[in-house]
Amino acid sequence: MNLYYDLFNKKEKIAIVGLGYVGMPLAVAFAKKVDVIGFDLNEKKIELYKSGIDPTNEVGDNVIKETTVKFTSEENSLKEAKFHIIAVPTPINSDKTPNLSPVEGASKLVGRNLVKGSFVVYESTVYPGVTEDICIPILEKESGLKCGIDFKVGYSPERINPGDKVHKLENIIKIVSGIDDESLDEIAKVYELIIEAGVHRAGSIKVAEAAKVVENSQRDINIAFMNELAMVFDRMEIDTKEVIDAMNTKWNALEFYPGLVGGHCIGIDPYYFIYEAEKLGYHSQIILSGRKINDGMGKFVAEAIIKKLILANKVVRKSKVVIFGMTFKENTPDTRNSKVVDIIDNLKEYGINPIIVDPEADADEARQEYGIDLIDIKDVKDIDCLVLAVAHDAFKNMSWEKIDSLYGDFENENKILIDTKSILDKKELKEKGYSYWSL
């Protein structure tokens, strides 16, 4: 097959299935080199893209307005393409088991529109074996074609870091894999069109699948270690950030910090690995323990808030608490698997219904997914406690005068400030007399 040359010469097209934080930057990048069809089932999202609006804030409205991507929600358009990249989310169920419905649905959709000579590459995070054992049979059943003969399949895990304007798609090394040497070579050449950092050719699809879940599990474990230290240091009345700053003076320190671990990667991928390991009779110890620690941080922060309210002689149930930040990380509208929700839920157990402010978050998504209505900061006043849950630039750049204006008319020692990201100057806050706590 010489699909790479046909793509490059615009005789064939690439289709990106799933236009979220992963698929949309891919579509835009490839459109600078080849003809691209950008497909998503969400008609509202497609209309936004067609109108030149980037709801993800990943590349910006101007880029969307100028791109040549053909945005569509019509699945028949996929028949025009021969190189399909599936970039749909792979969440977990309420029992922490993998939810493969999106990737299975995308496989059926692509399969129905697959033509001979095509390539299908999966970017969705899965546990080792999903591509070959689950996805390929679906493609074959829906298309009536035979994998390896009529079409080829590969896996190339996404490594996009939402909101990161430094580590972007183009300058992150891309892992690629295929069912055979021919597919590996073809897939690698296609990705090399847009990946300036180059590609790493994995020995098999399972190796590529495993690499993805392992790299995020590794980060999860390291953050869990710091979170455990933070909980212990809190009892010891030692400032965790000061300890980390001192530790980081050593050349081989890893520079991980405690925090809420949510999102669609680090907070989810370890469960995919745990699930498959347990199917094979191995009960995870380190990875599962790390997950339990990180999943418990929302409760830990909520209890720190309650403790501060009590020490300030406030009536807990009548206390006005405002939380700054709803997204799973800073400077992104993405609220998927946000652990701020855990803080909110735990506070509600004490009779507190916190006010949530987040100028970056997708307000519709927050309302639909969590039943949370976001409040404009201008409507916040007379609060007892401010919780800085997400380090958006908008929050980091707030003046002390603005922060102070949010509180009620009482002494600074009764103005509670919870800083989960340690973004504020602790010394200055102490000098001003605030009741300050950081993770």
What whole-number distance in Å separates Cα of residue 40 and Cα of residue 356? 30
Task: Give the pLDDT score at 1.
Answer: 56
**CA-based nearest residue to 31, from 58, 70, 5:** 70
Could you tell me which residues come within 8 angstroms of residue 118 by beta carbon, excluding any fewer than 6 positions away?
81, 82, 83, 84, 151, 152
DSSP bridge partners of 164: none
The region, left, alpha or beta by phi > 0 then psi within -120 to 50, assigned to residue 344 is alpha
Q: Pairing relation of β-strands 151-155 and 174-178? A: antiparallel
Intervals of CATH 3.40.50.720 along the chain: 3-203, 296-439
What whole-number distance in Å separates Cα of residue 228 and Cα of residue 33? 47
**CA-based nearest residue to 294, from 225, 236, 344, 235:** 225
Task: Give the pLDDT score at 63.
Answer: 94
Token pair in block for residue 119: 């390539």
Task: Give the pLDDT score at 159.
Answer: 87
Could you tell me which residues come within 8 angstroms of residue 135 by beta carbon, excluding any fewer than 6 positions away?
103, 104, 107, 120, 122, 153
Intervals of CATH 1.10.1040.10 along the chain: 205-294
This prediction has a pTM of 0.91
Domain 296-439 sits in CATH at 3.40.50.720
pLDDT digits (tens), the chain, 439 positions: 589 999 999 999 999 999 998 999 999 999 999 999 999 999 999 999 999 999 888 888 999 999 999 999 999 999 999 999 999 999 999 899 999 999 999 999 999 999 999 999 999 999 999 999 999 999 999 999 999 999 999 999 998 777 667 778 899 999 999 999 999 999 999 999 999 999 999 999 999 999 999 999 999 999 999 999 999 999 999 999 999 999 999 999 998 999 999 887 888 899 998 999 999 999 989 999 999 999 999 999 999 999 999 999 999 999 999 999 999 989 989 898 899 999 999 999 999 999 999 999 989 889 998 999 999 999 999 999 999 999 999 999 998 889 999 999 989 999 999 999 998 888 888 888 999 999 8
Task: Give the pLDDT score at 417.
Answer: 96
User: CA-based angle 283:286:287, to the nearest 5?
Assistant: 80
How buried is residue 254: exposed, middle or buried, by Cβ count under 10 Å (0-12/13-18/19+)? exposed
| CATH architecture under which domain 205-294 falls | Orthogonal Bundle (1.10)
Kindly list the distances between the CA atom of residue 383 and the CA atoms of 79, 299, 355, in Å, as whole numbers in the listed order. Answer: 57, 21, 10
The catalytic site residues sit at: 265
Does domain 3-203 fall into CATH 3.90.1150.10?
A: no
